[in-house]
Amino acid sequence: MARCTRVPALGLALGVAVLAQACAQPREQGAPPAATATAGQCQQRIIATFTLAAENADVEALAASAGVGLTVVSRLLPTTYVLDLAAPVECAVALTRLRNAAGVHAVEPDARRRPHQG
């Protein structure tokens, strides 16, 4: 009989844990911050995907080769990083440099995507 009462209690505990985790996540307000460009300088949050699994040293090497500053915000997957980009050039130029670097699969601005309304 005690076993039957554990199942609902475990389900309730799991539900509370999931709710607590959802509430702990930061809430996005409006659109994400856009690129900041002043006098040929760029500051923008980007998502970079490498062709192979990458470490922080690979991110530093990418920054040096592209002539930009990259700060790791988070690592989503072994090949994918969220980065803060700071560059002494316009954002389009900095993104092109990063995209053309060896070992880089893709670089895109970190922006919320919405389904096309048609």
This prediction's pTM: 0.63
**Residue 31 pLDDT:** 41
For residues 33 and 43, the model is more confident at 43
Chain segment 54-89, per-residue pLDDT in tens: 999 999 999 999 999 999 999 999 999 999 999 999
Domains of the chain and CATH, by start = 36-109 (3.30.70.260)
pLDDT number for residue 61: 95
d(CA 112, CA 9) in angstroms, rounded, equals 37
| Average pLDDT value for residue range 1-5 | 56
Residue with tokens 């070992």: 103
What are the residue ranges of helices labelled H in the chain?
2-24, 56-66, 91-99
